[in-house]
Copies of this chain bind each other. A is one copy, B any other.
Amino acid sequence: MSALFSFAVSAQDGAARTGAITSPRGVIRTPAFMPVGTAATVKAMFPEDVASTGADIILGNTYHLMLRPGAERVAKLGGLHTFMHWDKPILTDSGGYQVMSLAKLRRITEEGVTFQSHLDGATVSLTPERAIEVQCLLGSDIQMVLDECTPHPATRDEAKASLDLSMRWAERSKAAFGKMTAPGQALFGIVQGSVYADLREESARALMDIGFPGYAVGGLAVGEGQEAMFDMVEVSTALLPQDRPRYLMGVGTPQDMLGAIARGMDMFDCVMPTRSGRHGQAFTWGGRVNLRNARFAEDPSPLDPESACPAAQYERAYLHHLVKSGEMLGSMLVSYANVQFYQELMAHARQAIADKTFAAFAEDVAQRYACSEAD
């Protein structure tokens, strides 16, 4: 790691750990949840409100940003931080995942992936080198190697071939990053291997041989189920170096994140708090709340009295009305409350790890969420 980018664990509780990533644009307290700012905006939120929830870092999507407004344009306008009014750290993914889930007519070769933009049908090419170039143009603080997010389900042979390609791309990504990086920027490798423990181990070892300042675990939360996901997290964190941050990509629910923290993960991202927020689904300290439900029509109680979020103090009856009426303010308030809940969850997790009470904390949250989901 460069002197400008570092990670230190300050306390452990079993495999769970709390600490901080230090980077030029600020400290990222871990475990950390990164709200997703797909198209240079955490949807339906003012940037200052994202910051006020306690988020130390947000995620931007390379796929979306390279297509619109375009990486070169963002660079010309001063980089992604300036463009989107966010001066704290930003992590960008490599674009690989969205190419698989959103683009049309994908063709994967050794060189990279060619696809048609879902916006205008233009043919676009994404190689490991271009993925890094785009992320450097955006100016993100933590960048990700281009990988192939192995589809689920995959046979062992398919997973192995996909993994091998991803490891070759990881090596090329690092080489490109070395030529383009600015001081304090970091590139993370991504463990793949589908649901095969030996492939996950092989992938982790291959990445460690290449050497990265942080490691992600990818290709999970794609339908394999929580047990398989936790198994793959465990085999990965057992191997990955203790002194590097570990990032579980695209996860997830409060229970998924707490389970992964218990297994040694440090960073998460997920569209769930904002996407659910736009659909009237709230995350609260009392569990999930579906604000569309008619039983809230005359409920004068605040969405979440245990939350410190201003948006969570709005009455359920009013939020129900806004959601049912399709009013933007409903999306704005519930997204805000959800992102803050996720940040409060991480803050409590950090404290519980420092206090060596993490297991009890995770169990308490699981119970709150188990009850509410039975509604």
Show the binding face of A for B, using Cβ within 8 Å: 39-41, 43-46, 68-69, 73, 76-78, 83-85, 297-298, 300, 314-315, 317-318, 321-322, 324-325, 327-329, 331-332
On whether the beta carbons of B332 and A46 are closer than 8 Å, the reply is yes
**Residue in contact with A328 in the complex, picked from B43, B76, B78, B318, CB distance below 8 Å:** B43
Main secondary structure of the interface of A (DSSP, over half): loop
Cβ–Cβ < 8 Å partners of A328 in chain B: 41, 43-44, 328, 331-332
- Tell me if B85 and A314 are in contact (CB < 8 A): yes
B69 touches A327 (CB 8 A): no
* Set of chain B residues within 8 Å of A40, measured between Cβ atoms: 318, 321-322
B77 and A315 contacting across the interface, CB-CB below 8 Å: yes
For A84, the closest partner residue in chain B by CB is B318
Find A329's partner among B45, B77, B297, B321 (CB 8 Å cutoff). Answer: B45
User: Is the beta-carbon distance between B77 and A327 smaller than 8 angstroms?
Assistant: no
Can you offer 17 A-B residue contacts whose CB atoms are under 8 A?
Answer: A39-B321, A40-B321, A40-B322, A44-B329, A44-B332, A45-B329, A68-B324, A73-B297, A73-B298, A77-B298, A77-B315, A78-B300, A83-B318, A84-B318, A85-B314, A85-B318, A328-B328
Q: Is the CB of A327 within 8 A of B43?
A: yes
Shortest Cβ gap from A80 to chain B (Å): 11
In the complex, the answer to whether A68 meets B329 with C-beta atoms within 8 Å is: no
Q: How many copies does the complex hold?
A: 2
| Interfacial chain B residues near A322, Cβ < 8 Å | 40-41
A50 to chain B, nearest CB (A): 10
Smallest Cβ-Cβ distance to A41: which chain B residue: B329
- Given contacts A39-B327, A332-B332, 18 further A-B pairs with CB under 8 A are A39-B321, A39-B325, A40-B318, A40-B321, A40-B322, A41-B327, A43-B328, A44-B328, A44-B329, A45-B329, A46-B332, A68-B325, A69-B297, A73-B297, A73-B317, A76-B298, A85-B318, A328-B331
CB within 8 A of A77: which of B44, B317, B325? B317
**Residues of B close to A297: CB separation below 8 A:** 69, 73
Q: How far is the CB of A81 from chain B (nearest CB, A)?
A: 12
Q: How far is the CB of A334 from chain B (nearest CB, A)?
A: 12
**Once bound together, how far apart are the Cα atoms of A318 and B322, in whole Å?**
28
Residues of B within 8 Å of A325, CB to CB, are 39, 68
Q: How far, in Å, is A279 (CB) from chain B's closest CB?
A: 13
Sort A-B residue pairs by CB-CB distance and give the 3 closest, nearest first: A44-B328, A41-B329, A69-B321
Interchain CA distance A328-B328 in the complex, whole Å: 8
Closest to A47 in B: B329
Taken together as a complex, chains A and B put the C-alpha atoms of A41 and B326 apart, in Å, by: 11
Note all chain B residues with C-beta closer than 8 A to A78: 300
- Which B residues are CB-close (under 8 A) to A314? 85
B residues less than 8 Å from A331 (CB atoms): 328
- A317 proximity list for chain B (CB < 8 A): 69, 73, 77, 83
Q: Are B300 and A77 interface neighbours, CB within 8 A?
A: yes
Name the CB-closest residue of B to A324. Answer: B68
* A68 CB contacts on chain B under 8 angstroms: 321, 324-325
CA distance A68 to B43 in the complex (A): 26
Across-interface contacts of A39 in B (CB, < 8 A): 321, 325, 327
